[in-house]
Amino acid sequence: MAKQIFGISCGWHFNHSIPSSDMDTGRSSQLTERVRRMPASSNSGILPLEVLFDVLVRLPAKELCRLRIVCRPWRSLTSDPLFMKTHVARHRETFFLASFKDDETHIHIMDFAGNVIKQIGIPAGHKVLCTRLDLVCVATNKNSCHVLNPVTGDVYNLPKSPAEEHTYHVNLRKPFTSFAFGHVASTGEYKVLRMFNRPGFTDLGIPQLCEVITVKGGTGQARWRGKQSREFFVECQKANSGVVVNGVVYFLIDSVYDSMIIGGDGAGIHPDFICSFDLEVEEWREDIQGPISRNFVYDMDFPDEYIAIWDQLSLAELKGYLVLVYHQSYRSSTIDLWYLIDYETRTWIKQYSIQIESFVPVRECKVKPLLVLDDGRIVVWLGSTGLLRIYDPRTSTFAEVEMRRLSEVGLYTGSVLSL
């Protein structure tokens, strides 16, 4: 007797007809020979391949992983590259890419229930960059960066040597680096931006160095390309300081300007000053000012509140928008999420104002929103404590995600069917 799961058997005839508008009639012709020649699972025969394809591709990845054990033809079909590509395009599922405080030599691809789908070893001392891609990037602040492909297991070791034009630069004597990893949709290319910070905090006459490399199938021939330095210093000291949104890397201004302004220098430079680098054309764009400093009046006699702002701002990407996160811990326990709606007009909208006093530890200083779920809830990572929370704006409450303490976390958008 044929196995029955979800009302579909692996060995019976399908007498219903599915309207052609629901299916891609040319899909079966694109399948590989191996899949098209799959043997029947019983003497009764199987569903027409195009019908089976259309039924299975509608199911979530978690259920498909279970259904693979039903029979070999189903496993072959759901492992086919065309099927996986179609499934990813239809479902757009997102998974956590996590490293834990008690195990920083591995990263884990996990679902939202905390189930580990795949574990990947990484070099000691490397941190996973907070990206939202189907590849993984890990790096250190000592000029080491690797790009991992969870599906194939390939590791692209990016060269440590600088761009030719930067070979003898003073920044390379004791390199302190910051990396950002992004995808250029128009070309399909993956690129890494590397920033060499100035040698010392007070070396204000030495510019930060900027370089770009394109990640290809093996990086043996790839070389870093030197790019124009910034007039102002961008924040490179903090991990994951660069946030990539639609192929553009955004940075907050360096906190060195904090002390400069208090000392009477650096007029016009504010903590929510944002710089951006376009990975497609490999150029810096025009800088923009955030919404916080527009309404803030600096009082020379009471500078503490202004000084605190520099440590209360961070950047994130939510639903394809750049988000300025303002964690107001000086006067209130509030997190404001400001969305950059239009870069050209510099239009910001405060989408959320979240009271966190009862839900976030008092000493938590690194609050990063990761993802807005389909129902409107927001997944938030508390970096200092390693906790994960889900905020519900409808009830103004937080729910804790049962998971080990996280040292770093990102998002994985590739197909788990191929893992």
Distance of alpha carbon 302 from alpha carbon 319, whole angstroms:
38
Q: Residue 255 has what pLDDT? A: 73
User: Torsion angle of alpha carbons 329, 334, 340, 345, nearest 10°?
Assistant: -80
**CB-based burial label for 169 (10 Å; 0-12, 13-18, 19+):** middle
**The two structure tokens encoding residue 389:** 């929370």
Q: What is the mean pLDDT of residues 380-407?
A: 91
At 278, give phi and psi (nearest 5°).
-90, 115
* Residue 355 one-letter amino acid: Q
Question: Which pTM was predicted?
Answer: 0.82
Q: Residue 136 has what pLDDT? A: 95
Average pLDDT of the chain is 81
CB 319 within 8 A of CB 278: no
* Tens of pLDDT, residues 178-223: 999 999 999 999 999 999 887 666 667 788 899 999 997 655 568 9
**Other C-beta atoms within 10 Å of 32: how many?**
12
**The two structure tokens encoding residue 318:** 């939510």
pLDDT at 307 over 60: yes
Q: Residue 2 has what pLDDT? A: 40
Q: Residue 264 has what pLDDT? A: 55
**The two structure tokens encoding residue 30:** 């694109």
pLDDT at 339 over 80: yes
* Tens of pLDDT, residues 2-52: 443 433 444 433 333 333 334 444 444 554 454 455 444 432 345 677 778
| Helices of type H across 150-281 | 256-262
**The two structure tokens encoding residue 35:** 């899949």
Distance of alpha carbon 116 from alpha carbon 94, whole angstroms:
14
pLDDT at 358 over 60: yes
Coil, helix or strand for 324? strand
**Which range (7-21, 43-57, 373-387, 400-414) has the least confidence?**
7-21
Distance of alpha carbon 356 from alpha carbon 382, whole angstroms:
12
Domains in the chain, ordered, with CATH?
49-91 (no CATH), 92-418 (2.120.10.30)
| Helices of type H across 225-366 | 256-262, 304-312
pLDDT at 302 over 70: no
Residue 142 DSSP one-character state: S
Per the DSSP assignment, residues forming a β-bridge with 390 are 379, 399
* Tens of pLDDT, residues 236-286: 766 667 899 999 999 998 877 766 555 555 555 778 889 999 999 999 999
Q: Residue 61 has what pLDDT? A: 79
